[in-house]
Amino acid sequence: MCFSEAERGARGTGRGNGAGARAERLPSDLAQLYQCGLQARLGPRPVPTPRSPFPVPRAPRPLPRYSATRVKRYRSPIRFASARAMTDTALVRPHVVEFKNVSKTYGEGERAYTAIKNVNFAIDDRPDHGEFVAILGPSGCGKSTIFRLIAGLSPQHPPSTGQVLVFGKQVGGAGADRGMVFQDYTSFDHLRVIDNIAFGLECRGVPLAERRDQARVWIEKMGLNPGTDAMKFPHELSGGMRQRVAIARTLILKPRIILMDEPFGALDPGTRYAMQDLLVKLWREQQATVFFITHSIEEAVYLGDRVLIMSRAPGTILHELRMEHSTRPARDVQREPAFLEAVFKVRDIIEQLERPA
């Protein structure tokens, strides 16, 4: 993150009152996620290139070797071939996320530990639709490692070997095109609900009135009361309400990729059903690609367009299952025979993986 000397001094002495000063009080993961917005807002200014007061002489153009007719006849096929190639390229979209033989090893020598090994998968870009990808696997198989590699968060990023590509480009760190919702209730305790949700917009330099107006819209979308809940602090909210605030803080930035690491794991069953229905509704509005880690097979089968099943550590992708989405509420769908059959199929695979070798 780039700061001027004055800004670094203000941050070091606690005098900074803006988003940069607040970022130092955040957990390290959140601080990394919002680096991109802060850097875009506070990054180094471009240095103007000095201009010479004297005109720069131009080299004379070479004389044509062919007549105009011959040049036109010679260039025509090349021009048409280039246009055709440009059309073909425009039709081919890069994958939203692609892993190419990705491995991650921590430490060296006898203490080295490999979390994931030779992970390969590709998620297509589906404009105006998006895709919901659920990831299942035994505990410690590297699901969170994959997420953090996509998000560009250290210490998992960068991979030890292989390539992690987002929209065809190698991940170099956290970016505004990716948002993440954590398992823990990650809220800024010193900020009210409305400013928690608007924090990413503040990092982008959106004016106070505009970002609060947008935050109020999202408060209502998340099923909270803009009149009574907007000015509360996180400690005044229930667990489900705090997680709604965290989701709104991510979605308000309209990321193309949303990473959700067991966001509903600590919720009671009734609240969990409600949050699943709300998430599906918001996902269809956002038309983003969602990666979702869960230990609940029912949740993965209900939410996922596809389900990736990982092996025991060092984790790799063993199965990729396609699922059918339903527009009906989670509580109703998860009682149907076809749904239960799919759940039992996935459960048999998971139980086989968890048996002692």
Nearest Cα to 197, choosing from 240, 162, 231, 236?
A: 231
Q: Helix 208-221 and helix 239-251: axis angle, to 10°?
A: 130
Nearest Cα to 212, choosing from 199, 225, 203, 223?
A: 199
For position 181, what pLDDT does the model report?
87
Q: What token pair was written down for 129?
A: 């639709």
Segment-wise mean pLDDT, segments of 10 residues, the chain, 357 residues: 41 45 55 60 50 55 51 41 43 86 91 93 85 91 93 91 94 89 78 93 92 94 90 89 90 92 83 88 88 92 92 92 84 89 91 77
SS3 of residue 310 by DSSP: strand
Q: Are residues 357 and 259 in the same domain?
A: yes
Helices (H), 14-67: 19-23, 28-33, 35-42
Q: Are residues 13 and 152 in the same domain?
A: no
Q: For the chain, what is the domain count?
A: 2
Beta strands at 131-136 and 306-310: parallel, antiparallel or unpaired: parallel
Which residues have C-beta within 8 Å of that of residue 345, sequence separation ≥ 6? 321
For position 272, what pLDDT does the model report?
87
The Cα 2–Cα 32 span in angstroms is: 13
For position 53, what pLDDT does the model report?
54
Q: Is residue 64 part of a domain?
A: no
Q: Are residues 150 and 31 in the same domain?
A: no
The Cα 258–Cα 290 span in angstroms is: 5
- Secondary element (H or E) of residue 135: strand 131-136
Q: Are residues 33 and 152 in the same domain?
A: no
Q: Is residue 303 part of a domain?
A: yes
Strand partners for 307: 134, 321
Q: Is residue 264 part of a domain?
A: yes
Residue for token pair 């425009």: 90
350: left (phi over 0), alpha (psi -120 to 50) or beta: alpha
For position 230, what pLDDT does the model report?
92
Q: Are residues 150 and 264 in the same domain?
A: yes
Residue for token pair 């956002």: 286
Give the number of other Cβ atoms within 10 Å of residue 357's Cβ: 3
Nearest Cα to 277, choosing from 203, 202, 328?
A: 328
Q: Are residues 147 and 264 in the same domain?
A: yes
Q: Are residues 142 and 285 in the same domain?
A: yes
Residue type at position 239: G
Q: Is residue 355 part of a domain?
A: yes
Q: What are phi and psi of 260, to 5 degrees?
A: -125, 110
Q: Is residue 250 part of a domain?
A: no
Nearest Cα to 310, choosing from 139, 106, 123?
A: 139
Q: Is residue 223 part of a domain?
A: no
The Cα 263–Cα 293 span in angstroms is: 8
149 near 104, Cβ under 8 Å? yes
Q: Are residues 146 and 263 in the same domain?
A: yes
Q: Could you tell me the CATH number of the domain that includes residue 317?
A: 3.40.50.300
Q: Are residues 131 and 16 in the same domain?
A: no
The Cα 259–Cα 69 span in angstroms is: 58
What do you get for the CA distance between the two ends of the chain, in Å? 46
The Cα 332–Cα 316 span in angstroms is: 33
Q: Is residue 198 part of a domain?
A: no
Q: What token pair was written down for 85?
A: 């190639």
Q: Report the side by side order of strands in the sheet with 161-166.
A: 113-123, 97-106, 161-166, 169-170
265 near 183, Cβ under 8 Å? yes
Which residues have C-beta within 8 Å of that of residue 63, sequence separation ≥ 6? none
Q: Is residue 260 part of a domain?
A: yes
Give the number of other Cβ atoms within 10 Å of residue 49's Cβ: 5
Q: Are residues 151 and 268 in the same domain?
A: yes
Q: Are residues 261 and 131 in the same domain?
A: yes
42 near 16, Cβ under 8 Å? no
Domain that residue 283 falls in: 127-157+170-177+255-357
Q: What token pair was written down for 211?
A: 């970002």
